[in-house]
Amino acid sequence: MDKRKMITKRPRMDNLGRGPITNGPMQTRPLVALLDGRDCSIEMPILKDVATVAFCDAQSTSEIHEKVLNEAVGALMWHTIILTKEDLEKFKTLRIIVRIGSGVDNIDVKAAGELGIAVCNVPGYGVEEVADTTLCLILNLYRRTYWLANMVREGKKFTGPEQVREAAQGCARIRGDTLGIVGLGRIGSAVALRAKAFGFNVIFYDPYLPDGIEKSLGLTRVYTLQDLLFQSDCVSLHCTLNEHNHHLINEFTIKQMRPGAFLVNTARGGLVDDDALAAALKQGRIRAAALDVHENEPYNVFQGEQRPLKDAPNLLCTPHAAFYSDASCTELREMAASEIRRAIMGRIPDCLRNCVNKEYFPSGGVAVGYPVMGHKMDNSVKREIHEGGYLSPSESIAMAFKVGAAAAAAEGMNGGYYAAAAAAAAAAAAAGGGAGGGGGAGGGGGAPGGGPPALPPPVQQAHSTTPHEVPPPRPEPPLPPHSLPLSSGPDPSNHHAQKPESSEVH
């Protein structure tokens, strides 16, 4: 049987939960879940040797399986689910969320960082597809191809130039018109270069770019949004969505646009106030508009009572598909899975390429296996990932002694000290090397007054030797199943070679 078909026919998460738990303390692989999808065929080849991959196919957080909430270390998600702080607190062991896409406005990234959960995106995918779609929409607005094609499909007859003139009323010449781009990131730059080839005079507004970038691209820069709206015959949005630019295009800013201008949005639906846009289209202040994104998705523009754009004329809508092609979707999912792999094999957040909430993290990097809060720690179940497999707390501390990193191994993500881990470390040191580990002649001893015991000293002092003796080497702990030494093959973090990435939201 075709392996690909076997992969895509994996059982649903609710069926997996009925059998034995496959990610318990006796297992070595962490659980990675696709929250709002079913197809893991591209992710599994990248993660199969370091994680167990499953899917939930959830449409909201209430549909996420309890097994995922309790055991998942990593999560992959599209844009269907919204994760608030309350939702994030339900995940007991989650350490990383990778948004399969660029926008992270459906995740509370600050709350995730404070909980020790890294949030990553994939900003470098689909640049060509979104830029091409944007130009396609602009050309449709200028040349009215979509509306003319519908007239032919509906059986309208054009018997002379008068009928053609009537049907094509509103078509405009492109050369010499001014295209205003809001946000000159990857996609905005790609749109600008394509638009110049059609004869557009391109201007842009982006307060975050350094001076001089316009000279390298041969563009004209304006320094206020008002200037861009006033000068542009067509406005194209390519900026992120945040608390500062929600409804960037509203009743007030529409009045600053040229009468009869075009509007295109392939960035984020929340940038446009639908009520204000509908009124402007009906009044003719905006000649035509094209939207690939909508404020509430999935969104049906033309059905339902609370749809301000339902009766708006000269409106072209597509279902948030500007990013899609077979090649871009494969590239996107490979990049997302590779970020999860880096998190499992490395140290969060330092090992990640596109972590968007690093500034909200507790101080220092975070090993995947350590919890955020002390009350969530269960030493009998939680295990640290090391060299591709799990180590129990005592094994982890002993391994840390060998590399001189005892302090880092005994601290959690929030810098808190775990007494149980330290006690296990002391016992391991005593069993392996004499009196040094348990408070003897060469050891660190316990903390007075019943407090947490002090960290055992480095391995050089953990053996009962004279100052001139060299301590005997410690035997290597056995590797757990499914784990391989890091030196036995290529760097697992480079499992799939990737193209250089940069940042833009889509």
Residues 370 and 347 sit within 8 Å (Cβ to Cβ):
no
Residue 273 pLDDT level (bands cut at 50, 70, 90): very high
**DSSP H stretches of helix in 273-418:** 274-283, 326-345, 393-403, 406-410
Catalytic-role residue among 79, 320, 341, 383: 320
Same fold, 31-125+328-360 and 127-317: yes
- CATH superfamily, domain 127-317, is NAD(P)-binding Rossmann-like Domain (3.40.50.720)
End-to-end, the C-alpha distance of the chain in Å comes to: 38
Catalytic-role residue among 66, 86, 251, 297: 297
| Domain locations in the chain as residue ranges | 31-125+328-360, 127-317
CA distance readout (Å), 303 to 86, 276, 297, 320:
32, 18, 13, 17
Residue 120 is predicted with a pLDDT of 97
Residue 455 corresponds to which tokens in the numbers above? 């960290």
Active site residue 320: yes
Active site residue 268: yes
**Average pLDDT for 344-368:** 81
Residues 131 and 198 sit within 8 Å (Cβ to Cβ):
no
Nearby residues of 342 by Cβ (< 8 Å), 6 or more positions away: 351, 352, 353, 493
Beginning with the edge strand found earlier in the chain, give each strand of the sheet holding 234-237 in spatial order: 220-221, 201-205, 178-182, 234-237, 261-265, 286-291, 315-317
Average pLDDT, the chain: 76
Question: Is pTM, for the whole model, over 0.75?
Answer: no
The most confident of the ranges 204-213, 299-308, 367-376, 453-462 is: 204-213
Residue type for 214, please?
E
**Average pLDDT for 105-109:** 93
Residue 121 corresponds to which tokens in the numbers above? 């995106």
Catalytic-role residue among 258, 268, 287, 294: 268
pLDDT (tens digit per residue) in 365-422: 554 443 333 333 333 333 333 333 333 333 333 333 333 333 333 333 333 333 444 4
Q: Which one of 3.30.1060.10, 3.40.50.720, 3.40.50.1370, 3.90.1640.30 gives the CATH number of domain 31-125+328-360?
A: 3.40.50.720
Residue 261 is predicted with a pLDDT of 98
pLDDT (tens digit per residue) in 69-92: 999 999 999 988 999 999 999 999
